Amino acid sequence: MLYIKGGYIIDPKSGLEGLRDILIKDDRIACISQTGSTLAELLNQNGLEAYAEHMDEIDRIDAQGMIVSPGLVDVHVHFRDPGFTYKEDIESGTKAAAGGGFTSVVLMANTRPAVDNIETLRYVLEKGKKTGIRVYSCANVTKGMKGEEPVDMEALSNAGAAGFTDDGIPILDEVLLRDALRQAAKLGKPVSLHEENPEYITNNGINAGKAAQYYGIGGSPREAEISMVERDIKIAVEEEADLSIQHISTKEAVELVRQAKRHSCHIFAEATPHHFALTEDAAIKHGTLAKMNPPLREESDRLAIIEGLKDGTIDMIATDHAPHSAEEKEKPITEAPSGIIGLETALSLGIRELVQPGHLTMMELIDKMSLAPAKLYKLDAGYLAENAPADLIIFDKDAGWKVENFASKSANSPFIGEAMPGVIKYTICGGKIIYEA
Residues recognised as catalytic:
320
Total residue length of the chain: 437
H-state helical runs in 333-426:
346-350, 362-366, 372-376
Q: Could you give the CA distance from residue 161 to residue 5 in angstroms, rounded to a whole number?
A: 37
DSSP state of 150: B
Q: Could you give the CA distance from residue 114 to residue 244 in angstroms, rounded to a whole number?
A: 20
Q: Could you give the CA distance from residue 36 to residue 148 in angstroms, rounded to a whole number?
A: 62
H-state helical runs in 188-316:
210-215, 223-239, 251-261, 273-277, 280-286, 299-311
Contact 434, 427 (CB under 8 A): yes
- State the first-to-last Cα distance of the chain, in angstroms, to the nearest integer: 20
3-state secondary structure 101-126: CEEEEEECCCCCCCCCCHHHHHHHHH
Side-chain half-sphere CA neighbours of 231 within 13 A:
19
Amino acid at 74: D
Q: Could you give the CA distance from residue 242 to residue 374 in angstroms, rounded to a whole number?
A: 14
Q: Could you give the CA distance from residue 93 to residue 342 in angstroms, rounded to a whole number?
A: 11
Residue 49 buriedness (CB in 10 A; 0-12 / 13-18 / 19+) = exposed
DSSP state of 337: P
Under the phi-then-psi rule, with left for phi > 0, alpha for psi from -120 to 50, and beta for the rest, what region is 80? left
Give the three-state DSSP class for 334: coil
CA angle 100, 106, 109 (to 5 degrees): 125
Residue closest to 369 by CA, chosen among 386, 353, 357:
353
